[in-house]
Chain A
Amino acid sequence: MGQDIYKEIDQDIHTDPMILQMGPSHPATHGTVRFTLTLDGETVVKCETEVGYLHRGFEKEAENSTWTQVFPYTDRLNYVSPLLNNFGYALAVEKLLEIEVPERCNYIRTIMGEISRLSDHLTCIGAGALELGAMTAFLYAIEGRELVWDLIEEVTGARLTVSYGRIGGVKDDLTPDFAEHWKATRERLIEIHGITDKLLTRNRIFLDRMEGTGVITPEAAVSYGFTGVTLRSAGVGYDVRKDHPYFCYDRVDFDVPVGEHGDNFDRYLVRMAEVLQSIRIIDQCLAQMKPGPVNSDDPRVVLPEKAKVYNTIESMIQHFKIIFEGVQVPPGEVYSYTEGGNGELGFYIVSNGTGKPWKIHVRAPSFIVMGGIHKLFEGSLLADIIPTFDTVNMIGGECDR
């Protein structure tokens, strides 16, 4: 009699897989993505990703504006590192125009790009720590980002949507005391890097959540088109800055940190190492750069000086034509790629020889990572989605365009 009661309890409890909707606005995922998860207990069996909640038609919008008017739109792609998008787009158009920018401009682009990358990595590290409950580390990382943004504000006049890039140059030269300010910021950034390292890298709770979760093999990472930190953490040392140098990356000495396990912890470590590399690059650039013009002298592309615009009719006409008709880009198409904040940022642009782009396509690293993110989720626990989603650093504005 008594035996029969236990028989039922001892039976293996069979449950149907459970469907769980995660997102699009989940408090622990900074980005509007919907995951439809099929769960077996706490294990993710299947993940369906749905993106597009932030789609605003960047590519269509760009087709209806002049080449220069696209810059503000590119700010809003990866809004944590807008300068990298600005320069990536400018480089693509310059390739199509076949113009060279002055040396100093290349240095400025390298410096400002790396500063932007610092802000990207610091945000990712900080926000990732916050989502795992480490408020302290978050505050330090965000302090670092604020310092970086102060520098960006000093040079560009804006903190987030900078629109600093121009075809054939940049908006302005660096401020005269930029190097001095960088020195002070640099000290504090290295301090912050040390503190964050102490707070997180050997932290038991952090390690338990990060180590061995969200693993991807190098073959799968390449096949799914992952780039940037997500690819490098898996052991593939592909970095556009190193493999196909642009701007001044061939003139500075820096390492490409590579992970080996392809898990969340390696992605965190690679980001931490890249913060130091970026600081190295900026130091070298500031030491190497010489005074000079920051804009190309090609009159088809660059606006004439204000004094000339107001006082001579030729410059006035030139100014008018560039503003109203846009820069006349010769017909053709080009795929140009740079290393963005979280992967290879490619621009495929087509011109039909007018002042407006015929087509601009962005190879957004976040969008492609979202196409393969189920590889990182499936087979792991539901709770591991939070650190994994953070370390791939998906940025909604770039993913959904």
Chain B
Amino acid sequence: MAKKLIDLVQTKFADAVVHSHSRLGNDTIVLHREHLVSVMEFLRDDPATKMNFLRDITAVDYHHRVPRFDVVYVLYSMEHKHMLIVRVQLNEEDIDIPSVSQLWGCAGWLEREVYDMYGMNFTNHPDLRRVLLYEEFEGHPLRKDYATQASQPRVELLKPERDSVEEFFHYVKDKDQATGSRAAE
């Protein structure tokens, strides 16, 4: 079982895979960024893989390593009960990565968290905003160079005439209806 998935991806997408391993029972492939979406789509739709369940997206900051970041996707198949971890390495200067939000419903939401914590720029993401922190927050706290005790600028109180409901109303009206929570469909 263990190597089957890796072999399958390697034969199908020979030039997409940087390297692979199965340490501690976690089958892992490291992909080139350009091939991410096509490989992910293949993994989701191919009858032999059927990775219809995206467990998690996260990132790791290795700080002094080059390339500095890893974005990690944990895929699972409800039918075949197998798991595959897909990693993409990113350099510090170029943190664009294609979004996979069109493939899984939860991907957009999870990518927002990675953007929030690490600042990855998911291109083609329909609604890339912070999710756990507030929009005035400066920096991306899970990066290793973010000081634990760093203080944040004080957020000005909303002026009395500024009405958040009214503002949101404009947001909904001005923007296309397909933004926001519905966009992931």
The residues of A with any CB-CB pair to B shorter than 8 Å are 17, 19, 21, 36, 38, 46-49, 51-52, 55, 57, 59-60, 64, 95-96, 98, 220, 222-225, 236, 238, 243-244, 332-335, 337, 344, 346, 348, 350, 358-359, 361, 363, 367-368, 370-372, 374-375, 378, 400-401
- Contacting residues, chain A, for B61 (C-beta < 8 A): 359
A225 touches B180 (CB 8 A): no
Bound CA span A282–B85, Å: 34
Give the contacts of B94-139 with A (CB-CB under 8 A).
104-106, 108-110, 113, 117, 130-134
When A and B form their complex, which 9 residue pairs have the shortest distance between CB atoms, in order from nearest?
A371-B109, A225-B106, A52-B132, A224-B105, A223-B105, A374-B181, A361-B58, A363-B56, A55-B132
Q: What is the minimal beta-carbon distance from A58 to any residue of chain B, in angstroms?
A: 10
Q: Confirm or deny: B29 has a beta carbon within 8 angstroms of a beta carbon on chain A.
A: no
Q: What is the minimal beta-carbon distance from B109 to any residue of chain A, in angstroms?
A: 3
Give the contacts of B22-40 with A (CB-CB under 8 A).
23-26
A59 touches B24 (CB 8 A): no
B180 touches A46 (CB 8 A): yes
A348 touches B56 (CB 8 A): yes
Q: Confirm or deny: B54 has a beta carbon within 8 angstroms of a beta carbon on chain A.
A: yes
Give the contacts of B129-160 with A (CB-CB under 8 A).
130-134, 141-142, 146, 148
Bound CA span A83–B157, Å: 40
Q: What is the minimal beta-carbon distance from B148 to any residue of chain A, in angstroms?
A: 6
Bound CA span A359–B72, Å: 12
B55 touches A337 (CB 8 A): yes
Known: A36-B168, A346-B74. A51 touches B131 (CB 8 A): yes
Bound CA span A350–B165, Å: 42
B169 touches A46 (CB 8 A): no
Bound CA span A52–B74, Å: 23
Bound CA span A244–B1, Å: 14
A60 touches B56 (CB 8 A): no
- Contacting residues, chain B, for A96 (C-beta < 8 A): 24
A19 touches B172 (CB 8 A): yes
A334 touches B24 (CB 8 A): yes
B106 touches A52 (CB 8 A): no
- Contacting residues, chain B, for A19 (C-beta < 8 A): 165, 168-169, 172
Q: Confirm or deny: B53 has a beta carbon within 8 angstroms of a beta carbon on chain A.
A: yes
- Contacting residues, chain B, for A36 (C-beta < 8 A): 168
Bound CA span A333–B55, Å: 16
B165 touches A59 (CB 8 A): no
B56 touches A46 (CB 8 A): no
A344 touches B81 (CB 8 A): no
- Contacting residues, chain A, for B181 (C-beta < 8 A): 46-49, 374
Q: What is the minimal beta-carbon distance from A137 to any residue of chain B, in angstroms?
A: 32
| Interface flags, B67-97, vs A, CB<8A=1, else 0 | 0000010100010010101000000000000
Of A223, A238, A401, the most chain B CB neighbours within 10 A belong to A223
Q: What is the minimal beta-carbon distance from A12 to any residue of chain B, in angstroms?
A: 22
A60 touches B142 (CB 8 A): yes
The residue that A334 contacts in the complex, of B26, B130, B141, with Cβ under 8 A, is: B26
Bound CA span A397–B47, Å: 38
Q: Confirm or deny: B162 has a beta carbon within 8 angstroms of a beta carbon on chain A.
A: no
The residue that A225 contacts in the complex, of B25, B53, B134, with Cβ under 8 A, is: B53
Q: Confirm or deny: B5 has a beta carbon within 8 angstroms of a beta carbon on chain A.
A: no
- Contacting residues, chain A, for B105 (C-beta < 8 A): 220, 223-225, 371-372, 375
A-B contact pairs, 9 of them (CB 8 A): A46-B182, A47-B181, A51-B131, A52-B133, A52-B134, A59-B117, A95-B24, A95-B25, A346-B56
